[in-house]
A = this chain, B = another copy of it.
Amino acid sequence: MDALPPRLLTGYREFMQGRYASESNRYRTLAKDGQTPETMVIACCDSRAAPETIFDCGPGELFVVRNVANLVPPYEPDGKHHSTSAALEFAVQSLKVKHIVVLGHGRCGGIKTALDPASAPLSPGDFIGKWMGLVAPAAEAVATNTMMTVTERQTALERISIRYSIANLRSFPCVSILEGKGRLTLHGAWFDISTGELWAMNPATGDFERPEFD
């Protein structure tokens, strides 16, 4: 048995001969001096929506949490272990990032499950069901609106969820305090896998709009 999947070994060789070979000084400096990313991205696990790819970012630029459907749970200081909250705390308190971007995307499997629980894989733990339960009220409201098409309902919940996560970010004292002082900015974005279009959330209205790039 190979120690690693063959595709990953091939890819790693490409990395060493490509990016690492041309950026070894950058890697060495990042190792010696530590990371100082300005931006945290909360993204989905989806294989089609890697933030480093979409934002063409190199080593040291993005501190990235990825979970199913890029959700931020509400602030729950209950003494349990919370993956996303721990990462948030690390990014804000320790790395002092200036930006947090919640990056959603179209055709999200987690959002689909929230809208159609019967489509979820069944397991004794039902971890997906519990996890997507974070957006259950919104999912229920959207799912019952059968005048929207399936795709419209999916996109609607994807964007509602981004706003929900941004609201939850603000439930963390460290986030709301720094945002109030103008030292931290929260952003939402939604990526269309098919067309490659990126839609940015208007912070005033919550609407998703095409940014002007040119």
Hey, which bits of chain A sit against chain B, CB under 8 A?
Answer: 1, 3-5, 7-9, 11-16, 18-20, 24, 27-28, 30-32, 34-35, 37-40, 45-50, 52-68, 71, 73, 75-77, 79-91, 93-95, 98-99, 101, 106-107, 109-110, 113, 120-128, 130-134, 138, 141-142, 144-145, 147-152, 156, 159-160, 163-164, 172-174, 185, 187, 189, 192-196, 198, 200-203, 205-207, 209-211, 213
Contact = CB atoms under 8 A, between A and B. Distances in A.
User: How many of these chains are in the complex?
Assistant: 4
Nearest to A154: B207
Contacts of A54: 11-12, 15
Interface of A: prevailing SS? mixed
Given A89-B125, A124-B77, A16 B63 contact: no
A31 B48 contact: yes
Instruction: Point out which of A57, A147, A159, A185 has the most chain B C-beta atoms below 10 A from its C-beta.
Output: A147
